[in-house]
Amino acid sequence: MRKRTVYAWSVAIICFIVLMIVTPAIPQSQEYHDFADQREFFGIPNTLNVVSNFPFLVIGLIGLVLCYHRNYFKLSLQGELWGWTCFFIGVAAVGIGSSYYHLKPNDARLVWDRLPMTIAFTSIIAIFIIERIDEQKGTVSLIPLVLAGVVSILYWRFFDDLRPYALVQFVPCIAIPLMAILLPPMYTHSSYWLWAAAFYLLAKVEEAADKPMYRWTHHIVSGHTLKHLCAAMVPVFLTLMLAKRSVETQRISLLKTWKISWTKIKENGSKTLFSRGQDSRLSHTNFSRRVATDLCSHRRSLLTRHQAVVVTILLSFAHQLTVTKKLTSHRSFAQLSTVTNRSHHSSSFTKLLAHYSRVSVTLTLSVLTPQP
């Protein structure tokens, strides 16, 4: 097991070195600091971009308190406690560091915006390893992962190269959803991980569309402000997950759970269609028997039994058309809806047949009964 761990780290380091050799450096563009919304309210520069970081501070402090207050989150593993502590510290620090950066955007202040985020990202990876792969490996990897995030920030600051930071930020965006779907969880409510990933993806889209969204909203709110609010939903969902979850008795991955649910849905659909068919055949049989009884029960009937059967078959055919229309309206008649007025004519035709079948029964019974 230890050899596999060494091999995994060796492969990761080799891939990183090769990537650094074959790809060009990515310098920090100074246009990044030119945000769309630069309005000032109450003497605060870039007010909305500054104030929108406040939710990070609030949820970070709440999560940090709940980690240690009477073990509210019921964290049974020491590695889990350390990992979530690092995560909520990073989230709370984002609220401070990002606000500090947006007061006067520049490279020097951007360090304090990105450093807390890398701590949160890397601690989440360690938590996933603890919960999904191995407790000991995840606990041991927590400090190296956090240090790797810090080194990526320092490398960018001193060498003006964003490649290590890009790996630290975007690799978790791919790894976390895949691990959440493919690996069996230790706890319930695993779908909250996917909600958190979806909101983070939405936040990145809003960040890229900062100026267009500012124009679309008629200079009310910019994409970067909305990015802060959507990104703050990530720790919100994870906090809710920690509060609601319990130990999973049967460790089944989300992918397998979805497959089982889909199989049940298909089986229930097949049973429903079969029961509808059975009900329609039963209704058709009862109708035929009722008409035959009505025709043949009259003592003074002018029809023989064989003639009554013929009339019954004709009337039953008309009734069967109405039943078939109900069963196939979601399939056959839906396909005919592309032709102008075709569905309307088909529906009117079957209703007319049903009407005349009822009238025929009434007239037949009245004619077969001689007047006194």
> Quick one: tokens of 256?
């397998």
Tell me the mean pLDDT in the region 45-67.
95
The residues facing 187 across adjacent strands are: 247
More confident residue, 254 or 39: 39
Amino acid, res. 289: R
Q: What is the pLDDT of residues 166-225, one digit of tens each?
A: 888 888 888 888 888 888 888 888 889 989 999 999 999 999 999 999 999 999 999 999
- Listed by start position, the domains of the chain span 2-252, 259-368
Q: What is the pLDDT of residue 273?
A: 58
Q: Which residue has the tokens 């360090």?
A: 111
Q: What is the pLDDT of residue 309?
A: 47
Q: Which residue has the tokens 């229309």?
A: 325
Q: What is the pLDDT of residue 347?
A: 53
Q: What is the pLDDT of residues 81-131, one digit of tens each?
A: 999 999 999 999 999 999 999 999 999 999 999 999 999 989 999 998 998
3 state DSSP class of 364: helix
Q: Which residue has the tokens 């079957």?
A: 350
pTM higher than 0.75 for the full model?
A: no
Residue 267 has pLDDT above 70, yes or no: yes
Phi-psi region of 327 (alpha: psi -120 to 50; beta: other; left: phi over 0): alpha
Q: What is the pLDDT of residue 277?
A: 56
Q: What is the pLDDT of residue 204?
A: 92
Q: What is the pLDDT of residue 17?
A: 86
Q: What is the pLDDT of residues 333-353, one digit of tens each?
A: 344 344 444 444 445 545 545
Tell me the mean pLDDT in the region 285-293.
53
Rounded CA separation 202/35 (Å): 18
Highest mean pLDDT: which range of 107-111, 243-247, 252-256, 267-271: 107-111
Residue 7 has pLDDT above 70, yes or no: yes
Percent of the chain residues past pLDDT 90, beyond the cut: 41
Tell me the mean pLDDT in the region 136-153.
91
CA distances from 59 to 153, 240, 260 (A): 24, 11, 35
For the chain, what is the mean pLDDT? 78
Distance of CA 187 to the CA centre of its chain: 19
Amino acid, res. 122: T
CATH of region 2-252, choose from 1.10.3470, 2.30.30, 1.20.1070, 1.10.287: 1.20.1070
Q: Residue 300: which pLDDT band, with cuts at 50, 70 and 90?
A: very low
